[in-house]
Structure 1
Amino acid sequence: MKKKFLFHEKEFICGWSAAATNIVITYPIQKMSAFQVLFNENIIRASQCIFRECSVRSVYRGMLPPLCQKSISISCMFGFYNNLNDYLQTRDVKFARYWSGLASGSMESTTMPFERMQSILINKNFNKKYKNMLHIMLKLRKEYGIKEYYRGFSIIFFRNTMGNICFFTLKHECDFYITNNFQVPIIQSGAQFIYGGLIGSMLSTLFYPLTVLKLTLQKQVGGKFLSPLKTARELYSDGKN
């Protein structure tokens, strides 16, 4: 007898809440990292550029796009994955976790325009040209068309799909190990929290070159869409020199 599929909305809510909290707390650090990539600055110079005005408004300039993007994408990542995985397993579909990871990563990629807006807002070269996220969206659409929202899409799509497949595959294996080796609920929760952080950190480090490549592709507004492979070669050559 096949299991009955039940929709779980709590995964969407928890994913959204966790992502929103994460962005509000860690945004200044993410901004420093982006400054280092965009302007080839060390961490001290990047922090000076960001905190120079010593105001919350300047530090958190450009936070709305990642707040929208991350909260929606992480909500989709966990909610869509868990519900689709449960559904596919009730149908005895092979490799359900892999298909679910691929599908949830694809869903995440639909929020890419928010990442595009963020890359422009954190670039100090555009501070005077663009005021906020809405202003950027209207200007880009008017001057360059909708396609400008999706500059660097292939890199983001690859990162999201492969990242989700790796994350949920490792998470499943760790869940299985913890459930079979720890019986106390509080210990299970603590272990899951720790390994979740470790898996996330490991994958973030592994896929970080794609983030660098994405920021490099998106620092341009208008003009020819550059090849990710060619840009990666140029970055590698610049790094060696």
Structure 2
Amino acid sequence: MATESNLPRSGSLTGEQWIQKDNLDWTTVQNNPNTSSHELFLDALYHGKWSDAAEYLRCDKSLIQVCDEKKQNILFYWANGVKQSQNAEDATKWLEEHMPPELIKKMINKVDEKGETLFHAVAAIGQYQVMQWIVDTFPELDVNQTNHCGCTALHKAARNGQLEAILWLLEHRANISIITVDGNRPEHETLKHKHIEVISYLQPPIYWPDHLDLDIQISLQAKYDRAQDIRLSFSKAQQFAKKR
């Protein structure tokens, strides 16, 4: 996504800094104003500067189709803008005012160079309100869709410790047992990235036989949980080394 480091400069201010000041004429002094307007439009979306983004779009309607070098369309930047502005309602209103429904649906399902969609991106930053909006807009969406590495939105949310997104995904039948090409389930992602506080939500349940006494079930569950903690404390590399 666009950052200050990859935006062109003009004097002492970067394009991003001009966006922050709502100065929209920055591109007029650039050697390549078309490229600069693309970058600033994405940057305005990234920071949730909806009025600035609308003004750029008014001047050049083709900006709606812009993608970055990672093949991420404008919705990836818009999603971060939702987080920055902390107002999902205004963000979705802006989107619906400036994009036809068919194009929104097309972009929701479009993958970037990693095979990820907008759904992966918003799960990673914990924007469960936007995830709900995506499902409302695109009800046929598969919440268990994977990228090129086999990661689901649940893997992404788990990797970043996004509990609210994790709970939303679980409520919408996200599969905790899907394994990536590296052999990791979402629970492994939480451990690798030290988000231990959410790991209990991602462990598969155990269905004890009905005839077992409750005290025995509690004892066995405690032993199982301890065994899981020990198992997960070893990295994949250590596990593979033992097999050799």
TM-score, normalised relative to structure 2: 0.21
Q: Which structure has the highest helix share of the two?
A: 1
Give 1 or 2 for the bigger CA radius of gyration: 2
TM-score (norm 1): 0.21
The higher-RCO structure (CA 8 Å, 6+ apart) is 1
